[in-house]
Structure 1
């Protein structure tokens, strides 16, 4: 009879700049949890990004380098859903706990506890939030809908794009993909908190639903990011649509403390008119690069990128980062297939050196074995 394997312990991250608090947390949680320790917000954020097994975060508020409020903002505005949905319990001995609590909750804290702690109560909360997080994570892995907006999520979009790319390839047709991002979202999050920004995200989703064609696909692909897929759409039509979206969002009548807030989005447009894109990753990367270009211009901006422009951008990036030493190392390791696509760029980089060679040296290069 096979012995039953013990379930893995819940992995808890405790962030506090006090060494004594970290030691106490290790003793309090050690028997029941897999405890990871962070010395401040910056260290905690680094751990969260590197460790996908973290299930619950306990954080102090007043810390050097990065405080708990800034950490909360980074977590809740992360484009990685596994991070943005993490349960975060704020544990603090702040002088004015009620004010700190209200600010932390507005930034998306899951719970708030004050020092000194009740060990049994904290353990119970950690277990409860970890189970909820795990159940929600499993649900997200199997659904293709975004809970907040009712739109398709990134997983659903990817599946849909695979079908649309195949259709466009078969019929040698055009296709357009738009990446849309709420401008200055992190600063907006600090000003109006989680509830306020979620209301704005839902309003942007409604604008997209009301503006794009019924045959197009809309998805929420990040905390404040959307993607629209438009098979058979032409580039000029996409620009007109992007302009309408920008204008409708800018017309929002959002207010803070009685003053109107300016809400804007920027749009990156990938246009495929010659059946040159055959994979979803490239299609999405082109639209993201176009969005990055638009965002650099300011707020409520649009930028369009074709496959040819994208390839030129990639070639320039290859020229800027190519290492001859790396190529030689790959050849020595027998990885010639990875080197061959880089040969043109390598020759371009080596051209000034080759020009200095004598005829005898050039002949030696040609006859090299």
Structure 2
């Protein structure tokens, strides 16, 4: 991989600070200068005009109470914009109070994160780091992913950017212990990737290894140096991050999933990528968070990611989404396919993603059993039969066009 295929973001990401108070702006600038570039706006109207003309801005920090156009109005314009880079930009709301009603209203208006005016420098830098340097724009992520996938497809270089499972457990365990000790949040993201055929309901496929490697490498380059990333399965990853706002973690996860799904990575026009991210944090466990183990967090994140992938959902699955999805039926014809040497090798994977059972009746035998009324014997092999008949199903679909 060449050096210019990582992430195309500025050394110092640019932040727009919108606040009518010169003192507040100066305080925020003092917090962030040296690590971020900045632009200032005296009100919401000026901030909006700046966003329109400066595409290099990565994050907006805005007050809620401003003349001409307040923070809520600015948020409304940003989220309703027809320009994707503006519509999707992270917006951090700065408030003088910690009233829950105000926070809820700001989040409903589209705020990515909320901070109080007395926030400490390390906390502010950490949050901005997540939203600016760590996240980049979705378009940049997509382009970088496409470039990496092309390079990896033509390279025999081993992917050594990621933690080994043992190193991940050790380092993520230290992050967790530090978060518990300092009463801060800790988040695990479990990311699972699949391919879905547009004409075959419930059919999922494992992406080519070049794409999986590219996703892993890009994850390593986009998270902070203190965060940990490991490959945990054939097409799945785990990310551990501490001292992070949960909404920021969800925002990052959503961007990653959408970028994977939107990137031009599949040569087959009927195949599309599905990327599901299970998100779990210490805050999910309330008063019992001090006793939660890393293994428990990783397993919950993986289960949520698997649940999302089983329903072919690109996006984040947290507590609320998990409850909603558990009440929906899963298509039992879900299959995994491995692409090797340009050939599609069909295999039913176990729930843990390990191996397959080679001792299965041939498709001809299963069809014969169906004709003989032996459905009970066919049911355990239904997924294999669907896989074997995939070419026939594709031909039928083509003829119906």
Q: TM-score, normalization: structure 1?
A: 0.38
Greater share of helix? 1
| CA radius of gyration, larger in | 1
* Relative contact order higher in (CA < 8 Å, ≥ 6 apart): 2
